[in-house]
Amino acid sequence: MSRFAKRRNKIRRMLRKHRVDALLVTNFTNVSYLTGFTGDDSYLLLTGKNDIVLSDERYTTQLEEECPELELNIRGPGKKMLSAVSRLLTSVKAKRLAIEAGSMTVALHLALQESVKGCELVPASGWVEELRAVKDRDEIAKTRVACEQARRAFEVVRASLTPEMTELQVAADLEYQARRFGGKCLSFPPIVAVGARAALPHASPTEQRLENADFTLIDWGVNEGQYVSDLTRVLVTGKISPKLRKVYGVVLNAQLAAIKSIRPGVACGAVDQVARSIIAKAGYGKQFGHGLGHGTGLEVHEAPRLSQGQSTLLAPGMIVTVEPGIYLPGWGGVRIEDDILVTRTGHEVLTSVPKELDECVVG
């Protein structure tokens, strides 16, 4: 039995638990997770016995190659997905249909309810996402590749930095190098922020030059084909000021302490609190305004979340980022981020880019 079939069987247990006849998967990423299909614009209908992919003729051959064990429902040109779903639900005689509440639009929900009046639509939340939170060996191996590609791309970009380079040029070079080392693309549009602009946690690259400040924050990751990595480093392009050394030291200590606390059974909120308390004690509590981290996988933001009040317990196989930051408007910001695998006995840091401040000085 394939790992995808095993995942679908876990969802079938959810069908029985919630007393529904089927689940309509409309989140394309969830369809990929449950089938191995690498395309998009396709739905998956899971019943007690059937695994049916609803797609169109663009993907017929690809689906036959990637998902040979699945039943295909292919619509022709001009045929709408709603009609295909309605006919299929009628044919399988579904009376209670679970729908992905976080994916299905209100418009589709209303249209589907109108077209299959004898079928009750039951909102379901997080069924597939909960499975995705714990990675299997193949997923972990692919994430390792993504982390290594991110490291190699960053090292080449760092070695080629010049004072007159702009944030936009650095971002473009990261994308190019990621592809050179085998990546499909970057995990997300990279953040490259010089000096004071690093106070913006999600700064978009501009024509600002590296020579205009003493440090630059870079947040990037690589998609190896399916699975992603996510890192942040601060590079020193000038002098290390006393203020930079102080702020950087607080963030690094917070990150190292939080990573050290990661192990099975620990609540996600407790890990966040480890880092947050260190930053608050140093007087920067109000300058750390986001959660400590998040899961990664097929998407760069997945379950679980490391943030205040999160009661989810860490489990072996989860991969999370740990990324505390301090942001001071008018001066800049420091964030340090790594990808961490929860193991049976503790944790493993999957990323290996140097992060001691003196190691971050660009010659």
pLDDT at residue 264, rounded to an integer: 98
152-201 pLDDT, tens digit each = 999 999 999 999 999 999 999 999 999 999 999 999 999 999 999 999 99
Pairing of strands 96-100, 22-25: parallel
Which pTM value belongs to this model?
0.95
Structure tokens at 191: 């953040």
pLDDT at residue 78, rounded to an integer: 84
pLDDT at residue 122, rounded to an integer: 95
DSSP-derived 3-state class of residue 106: helix
What are the residues whose beta carbons fall under 8 Å from the beta carbon of 333, sequence distance 6 or more?
A: 193, 198, 199, 200, 201, 217, 325, 326, 327
Pairing of strands 215-220, 191-194: antiparallel
All domains of the chain in start order, with CATH: 3-132 (3.40.350.10), 137-360 (3.90.230.10)
**Beta bridge partners of residue 98, listed in sequence order:** 23, 122
Listing DSSP states for 170-213 in one string gives: HHHHHHHHHHHTT-SEESSPPEEEEGGGGGSTTPPP-S-BGGGS
pLDDT at residue 154, rounded to an integer: 98
279-327 pLDDT, tens digit each = 999 999 999 999 999 999 999 999 999 999 999 999 999 999 999 999 9
Q: What is the mean pLDDT of each run of 10 residues along the chain (363 residues)?
A: 94 96 97 96 95 96 95 91 91 93 92 89 95 98 98 98 98 98 98 98 98 98 98 97 98 98 98 98 98 98 97 98 98 98 98 98 91
Task: Please give the mean pLDDT across all residues of the chain.
Answer: 96
